[in-house]
Amino acid sequence: MFYVYILQCGDNTFYTGYTVNIEKRVENHNAGLASKYTRSRLPVRCVYTEECSSKSEALKREREIKALTRKQKQALINGY
């Protein structure tokens, strides 16, 4: 199983990525080991996850979410 996730960073920005292990990935982000973007915006917390059945599906969905506006991402997080 693959997951697409949205993190809320310490500066209130969003970061979108994909992984096979959400807990470990968030832990790596908070340790400064996962992304250059989040490294300078700690701490991060996971605010949204979505399951995908394949890596290609997860990558496609990640691209779709990254293309959304902040307002659209917030609506997705809020379940609208």
**How confident is the model at residue 80, as a pLDDT?**
85
CATH of the domain at 57: 3.40.1440.10
The range of the structural domain enclosing residue 15 comes to: 2-78
What is the tally of structural domains in the chain? 1
Q: pLDDT truncated to tens, each residue of the chain (80 aa)?
A: 999 999 999 999 999 999 999 999 999 999 999 999 999 999 999 999 999 999 999 999 999 999 999 999 999 999 98
Closest CA to 16 of 79, 78, 73: 73
- Can you read off the two tokens belonging to residue 12? 């209130």
Query: pTM of this prediction?
Result: 0.94
Please name the residue that has the structure tokens 């970061």.
15
**How confident is the model at residue 15, as a pLDDT?**
97
